[in-house]
């Protein structure tokens, strides 16, 4: 255990799996009190148990990021228990790959609701308690797909590009009002997580073949290396910690050169 975020209270959405799980583990390892939230209750509780086995502090709350009522309940629960909130990792997200002329409006709206409405609601409900207890850090999970387009991922591009500029606008409003809440986005490249299984099988490839994420990374990433969730969690930890106290409104790209 180290102490880069010792004493901080952090909410990590989508913390039951992949990058969110790694962020939860890493923040707890560095001394934060982590509130893992997700719609997957069993897997979320497993992450908490893993943290506790390593000597860290964590708890789980069921939380659908598309529900404003659930955001209100989660934030109220955290503030009541800890009397502060320092870090929000707006990580929950899905990827729906499809041709834009075949995508249903329902799929478009579902992806917008989780990836973009969820981030908006988190910002809206977490800034006031952060501001009122001395400030904080919000880290919004965008993507390399929020920096450049990809065929058959246009709708996902729209959500992640939205997260990027939402971040900058909120960072400026916070700065102008001296709320002392820093807001930044993180842009992962190709990372080995279950999201690739839930992107509708074959939907990224017009030929319908399943995605081999390792092979894709080998071809697309300049270093040829598939990223691991901890690679992203290390960047999130930096932005959550006071090491990044002069950083707001920016984007941290973690992609082994994919977007270079
Ligand atoms: P993942 O599928 O492993 O994890 C996503 C988590 O979000 C899951 O635990 C899931 O239950 C949760 N979630 C889904 N809908 C939710 C909802 N409505 N409310 C609350 N939680 C919900 O995927 P991941 O790769 O770890 O993705 C995490 C974030 O990273 C996403 O925002 C994703 O877009 C982004 N990202 C991933 C990659 C990658 O290559 N894996 C690349 C760039 C960006």
Domain boundaries defined on the chain: 9-254
Three-state secondary structure string covering 247-258: CCCCEEEECCCC
Residue 140 zone, left/alpha/beta (φ > 0; ψ -120 to 50; rest): beta
The structure's pTM equals: 0.97
Domain range 9-254, CATH class: alpha beta
pLDDT for the residue 209: 73
194 lines ligand 1 (CB under 6 A): yes
User: What distance in angstroms lies between residue 256's CA and the mean position of ligand 1's atoms?
Assistant: 20
What digits encode the pLDDT tens for the residues 98-147?
A: 999 999 999 999 999 999 999 999 999 999 999 999 999 999 999 999 99
Q: Please work out whether the CB of residue 13 comes within 6 Å of at least one atom of ligand 1.
A: yes
Query: Which residue puts its alpha carbon closest to atom 36 of ligand 1?
Result: 143
Phi (first) and psi of residue 79, to 5 degrees: -65, -40
What residues does 9 pair with on adjacent strands? 33
CA torsion sign for 5, 7, 9, 14 is: positive
Spatial separation of the C-alpha atoms in residues 186 and 184, rounded to whole Å: 7
Active-site residue flag, 156: yes
* Cα 128 to averaged position of ligand 1 atoms, centre (Å): 25
Q: Is the CB of 134 within 6 Å of ligand 1? A: no
The percentage of the chain sitting over the pLDDT mark of 90, rounded to a whole number, equals: 92
Element (H, E) at 47: helix 41-53
pLDDT tops 80 at residue 83: yes
Question: Across-strand partners of 191?
Answer: 227
Using the mean position of ligand 1's atoms as its centre, give its distance from the Cα of residue 122 in Å: 15
Task: Decide if pLDDT at 222 tops 80.
Answer: yes
């Amino acid at each position: 255990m180290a102490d880069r975020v010792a004493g901080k209270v952090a909410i990590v959405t989508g913390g039951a799996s992949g990058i969110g799980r790694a962020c939860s583990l890493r923040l707890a390892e560095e001394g934060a009190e982590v509130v893992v939230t997700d719609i997957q209750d069993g897997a979320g509780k497993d992450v908490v148990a893993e943290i506790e086995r390593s000597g860290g502090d964590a708890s789980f709350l069921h939380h659908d990021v598309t529900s404003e009522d659930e955001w209100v309940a989660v934030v109220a629960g955290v503030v009541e228990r800890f009397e502060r909130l320092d870090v929000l990792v707006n990580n929950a997200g899905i990827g729906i790959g499809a041709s834009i002329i075949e995508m249903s409006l329902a799929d478009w709206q579902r992806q917008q609701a989780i990836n973009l409405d969820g981030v908006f609601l988190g910002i809206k409900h977490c800034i006031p308690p952060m501001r009122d207890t001395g400030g904080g850090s919000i880290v919004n999970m965008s993507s390399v797909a929020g920096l450049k387009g990809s065929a058959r991922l246009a709708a996902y591009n729209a959500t992640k590009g939205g997260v990027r500029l939402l971040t900058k606008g909120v960072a400026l409003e916070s700065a102008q009002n001296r709320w002392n809440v820093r807001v930044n986005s993180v842009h992962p490249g190709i990372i080995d997580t279950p999201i690739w299984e839930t992107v509708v099988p074959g939907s990224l490839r017009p030929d319908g073949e399943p995605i081999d994420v390792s092979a894709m990374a080998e071809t697309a990433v300049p270093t040829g290396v598939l990223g691991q969730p901890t690679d992203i969690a290390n960047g999130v930890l930096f932005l959550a910690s006071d090491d990044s106290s002069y950083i707001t409104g920016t984007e941290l790209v973690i992609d082994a050169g994919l977007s270079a």
